[in-house]
Amino acid sequence: MTNAKENTRKERVIVYVDGFNLYFGMMEAGYTNLKWLNLNLLIKNLLLTKQDIKEIKYFTSRVSNNPDKQKRQTLYIEALESVGIKIFYGHYQRDRFECNRCGNIWPTFNEKMTDVNIATQMLIDAYQDKYDMAMLISGDSDLVPPIKAIHENFSNKRVFVAFPPKRHNNSVSLVAKGSMTIGRKKLMDSQFENDVSKYDGYVIKKPKEWL
């Protein structure tokens, strides 16, 4: 009886999405018309029937110094929250770039804390036995150490990596227990409707720039 239950029990999955790694991979691949991506639907389209989504965690930082981009990002995050996705924020750190030839200086902004936040959540969830498989959507090599740590300390758990377009990384695939690259068709088949209803009935409209 116990063996029968074990054979029918679905594999528990928590998904960790590196928002900017996914976004810039899609942009580099030329998928500029696929920004209105329903991650909940995408994960369902990627997983097997014997797997059960327990949670999807999305890691990003708030865009700064561009009101139009900030508005579009807010709409997208609200759309993600409407389908139950939990958002984790890092931050942008102001820096500067100085041209050695002309001496001009430009302000730059670098995203910080996303890889740390992902690593922390993956390890905490493993320790609390919240998943059997962690699906990581990222090609960031900074996440190699936490992947290795999970496999070394939790023999009954595995990290599977779904690489965003143009973000395949050999160092990551070598330590993962399974990997794939998300293709254009999966992204096309996983778009929100133009109008998305929030829990309170408010309707979020797809940004006109993304139509």
Question: Residue 48: pLDDT above 80?
Answer: yes
> Which of 41, 52, 58, 45 lies closest to 130, judged by CA?
52
Residue 179 structural domain: 9-210
Q: Residue 144: which pLDDT band, with cuts at 50, 70 and 90?
A: very high
pLDDT number for residue 99: 54
- For residue 28, the one-letter residue type is E
Does residue 3 fall inside a structural domain?
no
Query: Does some domain include residue 22?
Result: yes
What is the average pLDDT score of the chain? 90
pLDDT for position 91: 62
pLDDT for res 7: 63
- Name the residue with higher pLDDT: 98 or 7: 7
Q: Which of 185, 176, 132, 137 is nearest to 154 (CA)?
A: 132
Question: Does residue 2 sit within a domain?
Answer: no
Answer whether residue 1 is part of any domain. no
DSSP conformational letter for 204: E
pLDDT category at 9 given cuts 50, 70, 90 is: confident
Higher pLDDT, 110 or 164: 164
Q: State how many domains the chain has.
A: 1
CATH no. for residue 113? 3.40.50.1010
Above 50 in pLDDT, residue 40? yes
For the cut 60, the answer to whether the pLDDT of residue 175 exceeds it is yes
Where residue 3 falls among pLDDT bands split at 50, 70, 90?
A: low
Has residue 154 been placed in a domain?
A: yes
Q: Is 42 domain-assigned?
A: yes
Do the domain assignments include residue 74? yes
**pTM of the entire structure?**
0.89
Torsion of CA 188, 193, 199, 203, to 10 degrees: 140
Looking at residue 65, what is its pLDDT? 77
pLDDT (0 to 100) of residue 210: 94
